């Protein structure tokens, strides 16, 4: 298993972001095929066969998610593309948005047809000014070319698409928070059930999919679910985009077959560790995933193998740390992020992330006390599984893993009173 360019096949073409360029490379053929020759159920069945799993982090089977939308509901249905990419270390969706936006639009159109939606949203994070401009232009061009709008391809099917920009909140990448944000409320998550597929945006059935997930859909419709299932591993089929960052020689976004060993990504594609240093730790799926130690570097990059290794595939943000890295300092950077981004709805997350930040900061200042690490573990335990949305879990899972694997890094600060110069960090 190695590099496999499916979504990234055309991103280096200079005109791929235009509707003409996209059409010239078999673009919108899948949308036409789905709309003119398939029934919505057939589209869902094809995606189910493909085994495609959500690429935003949770890895839920996309076809199954789509099939949850009630068929007999008289309410309108909505499809939302989650382009609120903000998991620390993740920068893959931005590449798709800027260089191949029509792949996402086509995937959204097919998905909307499958669930019977006539209004789709692209929820893009507000900081992406450049991406927003590209996507807005792409949607406008797709309308002009007849791929969106009224009576598409003469079938009588209408589909409208709105580009919606967020206000800068990590939590809005969580689907219920995103839906609340889109409805004009504060971007706070809601209790599930009811799941958005039953009761989502404006109380209507809603499907939220990641950019990368939707960009896979046209390929599946073009070549069939069976074809897609053959790529990758049995339970994690397909390719996946990985953002390789940190201490590597060639950081960047790479597309590999699922099941490719992590070491291949770091050493072959990323050119190994910077300055010839040794590897110390890797976060395989973004800031919410538990750390892997250097001896786990051969773990295959797929959902099952990562879970077995005690971590998660997450959003595919591979953050590499070399031997000189102080993991206690890294943990501080992570927890201060979650403290900043906690929406404040659930007490364990709101208060817990704040106390964790303060405790870890104190340890780094050289004022750590005996028993601090147990107290941190205790706070983590009181957050884990006790919040409405996964942000609470995401905040503490990496900490729990570093307390097991890199406890020495913290003890160095506590016992040796090793000091790090701390900066005032907050600015809102």
- The residue ranges that bind other proteins (CB under 8 A) are 76, 85-91, 93-94, 118-119, 125-130, 139-140, 143, 160-162, 164-170, 181-188, 202, 243-247, 251-253, 283, 287, 317, 319, 321, 325, 330, 333-334, 337, 340-341, 343, 423-428
Q: What's the min distance (Å) between Cβ of 384 and other proteins? A: 21
- In angstroms, what is the minimal distance from the CB of 92 to other proteins? 9
Q: For residues 118 and 365, which CB has a smaller minimum distance to other proteins in the complex?
A: 118
Strands 78-83 and 119-124: parallel
Looking at beta carbons only, is 138 or 305 nearer to other proteins?
Answer: 138
Burial class (CB in 10 A: 0-12, 13-18, 19+), 32: middle
Find tokens 């303060």 and name the residue: 358
Per-residue tokens: 282: 């890797």
The tally of CA atoms less than 13 A away on the side-chain side of residue 360 is 30
Q: CB-wise, 75 or 369, nearer to other proteins? A: 75
Q: Which is nearer to other proteins, 225 or 285 (CB)?
A: 285
Minimum CB distance to other proteins, residue 126 (Å)? 5
- How far apart are CB 423 and other proteins at their closest, in Å? 7
Which residue's structure tokens are 């047809």?
113
| Shortest CB 363 distance to other proteins, Å | 17
Q: Which is nearer to other proteins, 164 or 355 (CB)?
A: 164
Least separation in angstroms between CB 5 and other proteins: 17
Contact partners, residue 41, CB within 8 Å, separation at least 6: none
Closest to other proteins by CB, 295 vs 421, is 421
Min. distance of Cβ 192 from other proteins in angstroms?
21
Which of 211, 305 has the CB closer to other proteins?
211
Judged by beta carbon, residue 85 or residue 106, the one nearer other proteins is 85
CB-CB contact of 328 with 410 (8 Å): yes
Minimum CB–partner distance for residue 422 and other proteins (Å): 10
Tell the smallest beta-carbon distance from residue 351 to other proteins (Å): 18
């Amino acid at each position: 298993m190695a590099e496999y360019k499916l979504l990234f096949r055309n991103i280096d073409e200079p005109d791929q972001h235009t509707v003409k360029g996209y059409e010239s490379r078999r673009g919108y053929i899948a949308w036409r095929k789905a709309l003119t020759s398939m029934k919505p159920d057939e589209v869902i069945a094809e995606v189910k066969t493909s085994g495609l799993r959500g690429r935003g982090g949770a890895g839920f089977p996309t076809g199954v998610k789509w099939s949850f939308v009630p068929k007999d509901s008289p309410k309108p249905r909505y499809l939302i593309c989650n382009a609120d990419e903000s998991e620390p270390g993740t920068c893959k969706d931005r590449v798709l948005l800027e260089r191949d936006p029509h792949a996402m639009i086509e995937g959204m159109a097919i998905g909307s047809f499958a669930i019977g939606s006539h209004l789709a949203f692209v929820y893009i994070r507000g900081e992406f000014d450049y991406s927003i401009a590209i996507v807005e232009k792409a949607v406008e061009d797709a309308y002009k070319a007849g791929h969106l709008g009224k009576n598409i391809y003469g079938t009588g099917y209408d589909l409208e698409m709105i580009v919606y920009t967020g206000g800068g909140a990590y939590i809005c990448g969580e689907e219920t928070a995103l839906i609340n944000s889109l409805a004009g409320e504060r971007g706070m998550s809601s209790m599930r059930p009811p799941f958005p597929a039953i009761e989502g945006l404006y109380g209507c059935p809603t499907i939220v999919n990641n950019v990368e997930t939707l960009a896979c859909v046209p390929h599946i419709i073009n070549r069939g679910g069976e074809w897609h299932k053959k790529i990758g591993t049995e339970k994690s089929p397909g390719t996946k985009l990985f953002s390789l960052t940190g201490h590597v020689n060639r950081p960047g976004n790479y597309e590999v077959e699922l099941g490719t060993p992590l070491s291949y990504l770091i050493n072959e594609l990323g050119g190994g560790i910077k300055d010839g240093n040794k590897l110390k730790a890797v976060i395989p799926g973004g800031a919410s995933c538990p750390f892997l130690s250097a001896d786990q570097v051969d773990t295959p990059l797929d959902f099952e193998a990562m879970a077995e290794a005690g971590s998660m595939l997450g959003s595919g943000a591979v953050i590499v740390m070399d031997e000189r890295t102080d993991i206690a300092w890294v943990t501080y950077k992570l927890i201060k992020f979650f403290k900043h981004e906690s929406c404040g709805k659930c007490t364990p997350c709101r208060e817990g992330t704040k106390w964790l930040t303060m405790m870890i900061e104190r340890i780094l200042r050289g004022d750590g006390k005996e028993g601090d690490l147990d107290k941190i573990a205790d706070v983590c335990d009181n957050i884990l599984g006790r919040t409405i949305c996964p942000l609470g879990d995401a905040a503490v899972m990496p900490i729990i893993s570093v307390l097991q694997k890199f406890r020495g890094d913290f003890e160095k600060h506590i016992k040796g009173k090793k000091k790090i110069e701390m900066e005032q960090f907050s600015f809102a």
